[in-house]
Amino acid sequence: MLSLKAIRENPKPFEEALKARNASPEPILQIIILDKKWREITKEVETLKQERNQYSQKINDEKKAGKDISKVIETTQILSSKIKELDIEQSNLESQMEQILLNVPNVPHSSTPKGKDESHNKEILHWGTTVKSSSQVLPHYEIGAQFGLDFERGAKLAGSRFTVLKGDMAKLERAIAHYMIQTATAHGYTEILPPYMVNSQTMQGTGQLPKFAEDLYKLEGTDYWLIPTSEVPLVNMHSNEVLDDSQLPISYTALTPCFRKEAGNYQKDIKGIIRQHQFHKVELVKFTTPERSYDELEHLSMHAQEVLKGLNLPYRITELCTGDLGFSASKTYDLEVWIPSQDTYREISSCSNCEDFQARRANIKFRRDNKNEFVHTLNGSGMAVGRTMVSILENYQEDGNILIPKVLQSFMGKDRLEP
């Protein structure tokens, strides 16, 4: 959530930030109007309360003097009634401003490239050699079916975009996830096993609600939502808390299932397991001080990259432009892994600095020099397990077999999968 105080003092940068995101500045203009009215009422209430206090003192004085105080009491009651009306109006204005702010995205960092859409994202680096192309490999959903990717039974059990993994495929998914968690904890991340269902307040804290409700799964008749990413419970673990600056940075990692309706991607990536309603992901989350947050973003990105380097999967990094930036992010690096069957790189991790945007929503602060400040939160995938499997199935094909990356061989107990 953006700072109302900062908008009040200088709204122009926030208007420009929304324009950079291809959004209308209208919400900022509405907040300015509502806030002006709120401040006018606040001033009026303060004046009325002072006047009421004077009349209350007058009641005491005249009562002691034996005078008739009925008219003074009547005036005091009128003032109290007016104050109550204004308090309600003030509360309504606060609610209106809060609802507007809950739907306004974060301000892009000054270093975020300007641009309208993904075509303006900035490529930063390539790693590895893309030795295979679509003419040399079978798509993962074809070759994977030979090793235990069962799309028919997934559809029978739940519908489209669900998959059953059998035998070596189930074990390979566990091996990948195990390797990712080991890599994260080796870098000092504390492993967490959070709930897979959270309440509405928790979803609001990281920015999923209210704006993205249509892409989330809610349990009917409850206030429980299935998590779309473990970022949601990990960040909110410290909601309404004041941390000590000596605790920071805090780094968490979690392997969880993720549940998404993919409401805006109805016809996208239907084949295979690139875009599923349920998938596993290892998440990386950091809490830090404002002055360290961009250094921590670089560290988080490097930790995610180490997973791909360890698996020897070619990848590239792009810096998202303002028009492609996620709702809560100020700056984002996308890690994209090579998918030979598509002759392209596909996103496998987004590493973002949300600055104090989520901390304001979830009320997460830290204390230093006897003063409370909002923390900065960062998050990134370390990685999406299913998409990592896709890349392995396609990049490691050899004579109809699937070679197993060296870092996974001890877990799998073999160096290749054979039909």
Predicted confidence at residue 221, as pLDDT, reads: 97
Query: Average pLDDT, whole number, for the chain?
Result: 95
Whether 103 contacts 210, CB under 8 Å: yes
pLDDT at residue 268 tops 80: no
Whether 192 contacts 236, CB under 8 Å: no
Burial of 57 (0-12, 13-18, 19+ CB in 10 A): exposed
C-alpha closest to that of 314 among 257, 378, 396, 238? 396
- For 95-120, how does the pLDDT look when each residue is reduced to its tens digit (9 = 90+)? 999 999 999 999 999 999 999 999 99
Predicted confidence at residue 62, as pLDDT, reads: 79
Predicted confidence at residue 9, as pLDDT, reads: 96
Q: What percent of the chain has pLDDT over 90?
A: 90
So where are the chain's domains?
4-102, 118-417
The model's confidence at residue 55, banded by pLDDT at 50, 70 and 90, is confident
Rounded Cα distance, 143 and 401, in Å: 9
Residue keyed to tokens 């003032």: 79
C-alpha closest to that of 354 among 58, 109, 21, 82? 109
Predicted confidence at residue 132, as pLDDT, reads: 83
pLDDT at residue 287 tops 70: yes
Predicted confidence at residue 229, as pLDDT, reads: 98
Type and span of the H or E element at 392: helix 385-395
Q: Regarding the domain with residue range 4-102, which homologous superfamily does it belong to in the CATH classification?
A: Serine-tRNA synthetase, tRNA binding domain (1.10.287.40)
pLDDT at residue 66 tops 80: no
* Domain 118-417: which CATH number of 3.40.50.150, 3.30.365.10, 3.30.930.10, 3.40.30.10: 3.30.930.10
Segment 41-51 shows an average pLDDT of 94
Q: Where are the alpha helices (DSSP H) in 219-291?
A: 231-236
What's the token pair of residue 152?
A: 């028919």
What's the token pair of residue 185?
A: 């904890």
The model's confidence at residue 262, banded by pLDDT at 50, 70 and 90, is confident
Whether 139 contacts 38, CB under 8 Å: no
pLDDT at residue 70 tops 90: no
pLDDT at residue 216 tops 90: yes
Residue keyed to tokens 């495929």: 169
- For 309-364, how does the pLDDT look when each residue is reduced to its tens digit (9 = 90+)? 999 999 999 999 999 999 999 999 999 999 999 999 999 999 999 999 999 999 99
Rounded Cα distance, 209 and 400, in Å: 46
Predicted confidence at residue 266, as pLDDT, reads: 67
Distances (CA, A) of 377 to 192, 231, 294, 300, 390: 17, 10, 10, 11, 30
Segment 187-199 shows an average pLDDT of 98
Q: Which residues contact 27 (CB under 8 A, 6 or more apart)?
A: 18, 100, 101, 103, 104
User: 36-43 contacts: CB < 8 A, separation 24 or more?
Assistant: 37/93, 38/90, 38/93, 38/94, 38/97, 41/86, 41/89, 41/90, 41/93, 42/90
Query: pTM, whole model, 2 decimals?
Result: 0.93
Rounded Cα distance, 265 and 277, in Å: 11
Residue keyed to tokens 């009547």: 74
Distances (CA, A) of 199 to 8, 205, 232, 356, 361: 31, 10, 10, 21, 14
Segment 20-44 shows an average pLDDT of 97
Q: Where are the alpha helices (DSSP H) in 23-69?
A: 26-64
Rounded Cα distance, 304 and 71, in Å: 74
C-alpha closest to that of 412 among 336, 311, 313, 315? 311
Whether 383 contacts 304, CB under 8 Å: yes
pLDDT at residue 181 tops 90: yes
